[in-house]
Amino acid sequence: MTSPEEKRVLVTGAGSGIGKAVAERFVNAGAQVIVHDFRDAGRQFANSVGMPYVEGDLSVFSDIGRLTREALESAGGRIDVLVNNAGFQHVAPVDEFPEETWAKMIQVMLIAPFQLIKAVLPAMKRQRWGRIINIGSIHGVVASPFKSAYISAKHGLIGLTKTTALEVAEHGITVNALCPAYVRTPLVEAQVEEQARIHGIEPSAVIPSVMLQPAAIKRLIEPAEVAEFAWYLASDAAQSITGAALMMDLGWTAR
C-alpha cells in the first residue's frame, strides 16, 4: 500500500498532450514525477513543477538503457508507477509508408515500452507493489485506414500489457492499457491536414467526418480525462484490475 506522496512515477512523452496531463495529475497529488521527453517543452514543464527531467529519444534502441538509469537514479533506485505514453503519428497508405518511419514508430510505441518495463520490474518485484500503465488507443483494438504502423504498435502494446500482467500479478504489480479514442492533443491536431489530403476532404471536415464518425459521443476527449483514469489505475482502489485494455472510446466499440 502506498500513499500519493510516496509514489515515484516515470511518464514518457510528458512535454505535452496526454503525458503532460498525466504528469500534472500525479504532481498535484503529491507524487514525485520523473518527466521524460526529448524536446525543450519537456524540460520547461519539469522545471515549472519542480520535478526531475530525463531526456531521451525513444526511437534510438541503444539510448533506452541510459535513459532508464538516469530515471532510476532520479527516483532513488525505484519506479513505483511507469506510464508509457510517448508516441507519434504518420498517416499514409501501406504502399506509400516510409519503411524507416514505420520501424521508428514500432520502436517508440512498442519496443521502448518493453525496454522500460523490463528495467523497472526488478524494483517493483522487490517491494511487491507496482503499476504499469500503457497509453494505448482505440486503434489497439480496431483499425482505420492509413495508420498501419500506429495500429500495429498499439495492437502489440495490448499484447505486451496482457502478457506482462500475467507474469507479474503474484508480485503485487498490475499492468493495464488505456485505450482512448481521439484526444485533443497536438498529436491529433497535427494529423488534420494529412487526413484531409488523403480522404479528399476539407480540413474542417476531418474531426467530424473521420475522427468522430464511429463514435457515439461526438467530441474529442480531453487529456485530463485520460489522466484521471491513469491516476485511478495507479491507486490501491484499482488493485484488482490487471491485464485489461480499458476503453475510453466514446462508444466507438459499442457497435
If 0-12 CB within 10 Å is exposed, 13-18 middle and 19+ buried, where does residue 232 land? Answer: middle
Averaged confidence pLDDT in the chain: 95
What is the residue whose three cell numbers read 514500432? Answer: 106
Look up the CATH number of the domain holding residue 28. Answer: 3.40.50.720
Q: What is the mean pLDDT of residues 162-184?
A: 98
Q: 193 lies in a domain? A: no
pLDDT digits (tens, 9 = 90+) for 108-166: 999 999 999 999 999 999 999 999 999 999 999 999 999 999 999 999 999 999 999 99
C-alpha cell at 227: 489522466
Q: 95 lies in a domain? A: yes
What is d(CA 24, CA 206) in angstroms, rounded to the nearest whole number? 30
Asked if residue 5 has pLDDT above 90, the reply is: no
C-alpha cell at 127: 517491494
The phi, psi pair for 60, rounded to 5°, reads -100, 105
Question: Which pLDDT belongs to residue 6?
Answer: 82
Asked if residue 3 has pLDDT above 70, the reply is: no
Question: Which pLDDT belongs to residue 4?
Answer: 63
The strand pairing partners of 92, in sequence order, are 147
Q: 84 lies in a domain? A: yes
How many domains does one find in the chain?
Answer: 1
Question: Which pLDDT belongs to residue 191?
Answer: 87
Q: 251 lies in a domain? A: no
Asked if residue 89 has pLDDT above 70, the reply is: yes
Between 187 and 48, whose confidence is greater?
48
**Residues annotated as catalytic (active site), given as ranges:** 150
Q: What is the mean pLDDT of residues 195-221?
A: 94
Q: 196 lies in a domain? A: no
Question: Which pLDDT belongs to residue 2?
Answer: 60
Q: 211 lies in a domain? A: no
**Three-class SS of residue 223?**
helix
Range of the domain at 64: 4-182+222-241
Asked if residue 208 has pLDDT above 80, the reply is: yes
Q: 248 lies in a domain? A: no
Q: 216 lies in a domain? A: no
What is d(CA 120, CA 78) in angstroms, rounded to the nearest whole number? 7
C-alpha cell at 95: 504502399
